[in-house]
């Protein structure tokens, strides 16, 4: 038995040099939207430098070829685990078409994958799966997401921070595993992300390097248009990891206000009326732990301690953000429309019909080794619904007035445990907002 076990080990040692050929093989293949939804970016890793980064693709057959390049990514751990992250943009794709592709180089190709393109206009109904806090270990929702993705149930996924637990763990081996694990979904549709606290190690370098979000800010903040949705992704972590200084926080605040001004230009808001913000740590939650969202003065909500500069809640209220999506708590929670701890229900006794403030949901129960989080016994008046099952959220934007959201429970075999409509025939700053229209106008002149 001893000898038997030794033979493969010996063989591996002897064949070691040859085995390196396999390091040219593409792996961890995933997609994201490029500058617009007409561009798809294919990202993958190899462990040796292939010199070339190529995607062969097309409708019905791989007749087209696009070239990109790679960057070397060295993890911060003691092994300095090194890989080449390849990025190729497939530009100007035909809408509503099924493309096939594979990626690699003349030193090795991936298996063939496929994806469906969406329309670049606003008159269609985007379908998203949304969740945060999914790890390698105990990724409870992954199986269902794999099934649903490959059956074509979604146009994109939003992963609201906290990946792998953690991508840098074990000299980034856990990150490699995670990216292989999500390939079965992320290789087939755009996998759009924001950073969470589990990405912080080594200055967020595993997160910055492994993904390819639009707008060139190292994936830390960006926005994109999808049908009638304008989706904004931010880092709440700039409020919590002060060891990186104030600059990332201030930069993001200025960038965000600028993006919101642009999204509110009449010609833009008319086309993409739904403004959705995703970020990792919630402003409010009623979980039974001591996370910042259980405190009254949440940093992201009110801004810096004491000074209260750069608080986000007022900004989101003033620019009429419709929906905020957070994670971090390993559970699901839906809030009544809320601003500064006050509930602003909508018309006709229906809280989400023309609500008087943004709607918040927290959806961080996709599954990770830390399990799920419970809730306090006395539910605060602003909490509309909470659930601690493993699961994820589905969003469908029906049109400019109707947005539908539901929560899938993995514990209950995919049953829907919550669902609601947000209905709005006006999108813009909320009634009581102190929006300074003169300032908005001056920013318009300055920026555009
Ligand atoms: C592949 O990378 C390893 C580690 O950097 C290196 O030792 C090896 O020489 C490379 N192999 C080839 C064929 O380039
Ligand atoms: C990488 O590829 C992109 C897309 O082709 C190109 O715009 C960029 O200049 C390239 N970068 C380098 C360093 O070659
Ligand atoms: C973190 O990374 C960013 C982007 O590369 C860089 O600008 C910043 O200086 C880094 N901060 C530290 C403390 O290394
Ligand atoms: C908001 O609406 C919900 C559902 O009708 C209700 O339970 C809650 O009391 C309302 N809150 C306020 C402050 O009106
Ligand atoms: C959900 O299922 C997991 C096992 O898959 C279990 O550990 C957990 O307690 C369940 N959660 C609830 C709220 O029932
Ligand atoms: C928007 O979608 C909702 C839900 O399907 C529907 O009831 C409504 O009539 C639609 N509005 C328009 C203008 O199409
Ligand atoms: Fe988190």
Taking only the tens place, the pLDDT of each residue in 377-400 is 999 999 999 999 999 999 999 999
Check whether 98 has a pLDDT greater than 50: yes
| Ligand 5 neighbourhood includes 388 CB (under 6 angstroms) | yes
In angstroms, the CA 274 to CA 32 distance is 21
Cβ neighbours around 27 below 10 Å, total: 18
- Mean pLDDT, to the nearest integer, of 357-367? 98
The whole-number pLDDT of residue 9 equals 45
Q: State the distance from the centre of ligand 4 to the C-alpha of 377, rounded, in angstroms.
A: 19
Tokens (6 digits) for 158: 């939003």
| Ligand 4 neighbourhood includes 351 CB (under 6 angstroms) | yes
Match 């953690």 to its residue by tokens: 166
Q: Which ligand number lies closest to the CA of residue 34? A: 2
Check whether 433 has a pLDDT greater than 80: no
DSSP state of 142: H
CA-nearest residue, atom 9 of ligand 4: 381
Match 């994670």 to its residue by tokens: 327
- Mean pLDDT, to the nearest integer, of 298-320? 95
Tokens (6 digits) for 137: 């270990």
Give the pairing of strands 274-278 and 229-233.
parallel
CA-nearest residue, atom 6 of ligand 6: 402
Atom of ligand 4 nearest to the CA of 350: 5
What is the biggest distance separating any 2 CA atoms in the chain, rounded to whole angstroms?
A: 81
Q: State the distance from the centre of ligand 5 to the C-alpha of 62, rounded, in angstroms.
A: 44
Q: Which ligand number lies closest to the CA of residue 107? A: 1
- Mean pLDDT, to the nearest integer, of 22-32? 94
The whole-number pLDDT of residue 441 equals 58
Check whether 440 has a pLDDT greater than 70: no
The whole-number pLDDT of residue 349 equals 83
Backbone angles phi, psi at 424, to 5 degrees: -140, 125
The whole-number pLDDT of residue 37 equals 98
The residues, any chain, with a CB within 8 Å of residue 303's CB and separated by 6 or more, are 239, 309, 310, 311, 312
Cβ neighbours around 47 below 10 Å, total: 16
Confidence grade of residue 356 (pLDDT, cut at 50, 70, 90): very high
Domains of the chain: residue spans and CATH: 26-116 (2.60.40.380), 127-447 (3.60.21.10)
In angstroms, the CA 281 to CA 268 distance is 28
- Mean pLDDT, to the nearest integer, of 323-335? 98
Atom of ligand 6 nearest to the CA of 404: 4
Query: Could you tell me which of 75, 94, 310 has the C-alpha nearest to residue 205?
Result: 75
CA-nearest residue, atom 11 of ligand 2: 69
Query: Could you tell me which of 373, 368, 346 has the C-alpha nearest to residue 357?
Result: 346
In angstroms, the CA 111 to CA 101 distance is 9
- Considering just the CA atoms, what is the radius of gyration of the chain in Å? 22
Q: Which ligand number lies closest to the CA of residue 208? A: 3
Average per-residue pLDDT in the chain? 93
Report which secondary-structure segment, H or E, holds 201: helix 201-210
Pick the residue with more confidence: 234 or 426? 234
Q: Which ligand number lies closest to the CA of residue 359? A: 4
The whole-number pLDDT of residue 347 equals 85
In angstroms, the CA 30 to CA 188 distance is 7
Confidence grade of residue 431 (pLDDT, cut at 50, 70, 90): confident
Q: State the distance from the centre of ligand 1 to the C-alpha of 49, rounded, in angstroms.
A: 8
The whole-number pLDDT of residue 437 equals 61
| Ligand 6 neighbourhood includes 421 CB (under 6 angstroms) | no
Query: Could you tell me which of 234, 183, 237, 175 has the C-alpha nearest to residue 207?
Result: 175
Alpha-carbon torsion angle 429, 431, 435, 438, nearest 10 = 90
Q: How far apart are the first and last CA of the chain?
A: 74
Query: Could you tell me which of 380, 292, 366, 294 has the C-alpha nearest to residue 335?
Result: 380
**What are the C-alpha distances in Å from 384 to residues 141, 301, 321, 381?**
24, 19, 19, 8
Give the pairing of strands 191-193 and 222-226.
unpaired
- Mean pLDDT, to the nearest integer, of 206-221? 98
Evaluate the omega torsion of the peptide bond into residue 72 and state whether it is cis, within 30 degrees of 0. Answer: no
Q: Best substitution site from 390, 391, 410 to test ligand 5's pocket, by max atoms within 8 Å of Cβ? A: 390
The whole-number pLDDT of residue 12 equals 46
The whole-number pLDDT of residue 19 equals 45
Check whether 115 has a pLDDT greater than 80: yes
**What are the C-alpha distances in Å from 311 to residues 45, 219, 249, 328?**
38, 21, 10, 19
Check whether 6 has a pLDDT greater than 60: no
**Portion of the chain with pLDDT greater than 70, in percent:** 92
Q: State the distance from the centre of ligand 5 to the C-alpha of 53, rounded, in angstroms.
A: 43
Confidence grade of residue 274 (pLDDT, cut at 50, 70, 90): very high
The whole-number pLDDT of residue 289 equals 97
Check whether 250 has a pLDDT greater than 60: yes
Pick the residue with more confidence: 177 or 443? 177
Residues with CB under 6 A from ligand 1: 20, 23, 48, 82
**Portion of the chain with pLDDT greater than 90, in percent:** 89
Atom of ligand 4 nearest to the CA of 343: 13
The answer to whether the CB of 246 falls within 8 A of the CB of 253 is no
Question: Which sign, positive or negative, has the C-alpha torsion 365, 371, 377, 380?
Answer: negative
Check whether 445 has a pLDDT greater than 90: no
Residues with CB under 6 A from ligand 3: 203, 218, 244
Check whether 446 has a pLDDT greater than 70: no
The whole-number pLDDT of residue 304 equals 93
Confidence grade of residue 4 (pLDDT, cut at 50, 70, 90): very low
Bridge partners (DSSP) of residue 41 are: 32, 89
The whole-number pLDDT of residue 17 equals 45
In angstroms, the CA 129 to CA 392 distance is 7
Pick the residue with more confidence: 2 or 247? 247
The whole-number pLDDT of residue 348 equals 80
The residues, any chain, with a CB within 8 Å of residue 66's CB and separated by 6 or more, are 54, 55, 57, 88, 89, 90, 91
């Amino acid at each position: 038995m001893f000898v038997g076990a030794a033979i493969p080990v010996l063989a591996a040692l002897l064949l070691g040099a040859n085995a390196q050929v396999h390091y040219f093989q593409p792996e961890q293949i995933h997609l994201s939207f490029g500058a617009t939804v007409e561009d798809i970016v294919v990202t993958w890793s190899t462990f040796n430098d292939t010199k070339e980064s190529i995607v062969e693709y097309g409708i019905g057959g791989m007749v087209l070829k696009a070239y990109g390049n790679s960057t070397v990514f060295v993890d911060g751990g003691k092994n300095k685990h090194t890989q080449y992250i390849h990025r190729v943009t497939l530009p100007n794709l035909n809408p509503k078409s099924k493309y096939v592709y594979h990626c690699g180089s003349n030193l090795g190709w991936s298996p063939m994958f496929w994806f469906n393109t969406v329309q670049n206009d606003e008159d269609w109904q985007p379908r998203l799966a949304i969740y945060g806090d999914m790890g390698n270990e105990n990724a409870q929702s992954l199986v269902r997401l794999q099934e649903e993705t490959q059956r074509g149930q979604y146009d994109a996924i939003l992963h609201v921070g906290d990946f792998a637990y953690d991508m840098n763990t074990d000299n980034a081996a856990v990150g490699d595993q995670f990216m292989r694990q999500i390939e079965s979904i992320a290789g087939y549709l755009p996998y759009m992300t924001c950073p969470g606290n589990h990405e912080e190690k080594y200055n967020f370098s595993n997160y910055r390097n492994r993904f390819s979000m639009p707008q060139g800010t190292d994936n830390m903040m960006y926005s994109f248009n999808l049908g009638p949705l304008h989706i904004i992704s931010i880092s709440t972590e700039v409020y919590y990891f002060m060891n990186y200084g104030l600059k990332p926080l201030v930069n993001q605040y200025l960038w965000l206000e600028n993006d919101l001004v642009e999204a509110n230009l009449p010609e833009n808001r008319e086309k993409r009326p739904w403004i959705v913000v995703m970020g990792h740590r919630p402003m409010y939650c009623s979980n039974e732990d001591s996370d910042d969202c259980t405190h009254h003065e949440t940093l992201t909500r009110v801004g810096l301690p004491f000074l209260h500069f750069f608080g986000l809640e007022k900004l989101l209220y003033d620019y009429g953000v419709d929906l905020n999506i957070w994670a971090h708590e390993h559970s699901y929670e839906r809030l009544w429309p809320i601003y500064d701890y006050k509930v602003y229900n909508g018309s006709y006794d229906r809280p989400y019909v023309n609500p008087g403030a943004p709607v918040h949901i927290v959806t961080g129960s996709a599954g990770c080794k830390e399990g799920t989080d419970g809730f306090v016994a006395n539910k605060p008046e602003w909490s509309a619904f909470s659930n601690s099952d493993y699961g994820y959220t589905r969003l469908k934007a029906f049109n400019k007035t109707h947005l539908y959201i539901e929560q899938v429970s993995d514990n209950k075999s995919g049953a829907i445990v919550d669902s609601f409509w947000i209905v709005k025939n006006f999108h813009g700053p909320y009634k009581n907002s102190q929006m300074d229209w003169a300032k908005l106008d001056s920013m318009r002149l300055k920026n555009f």
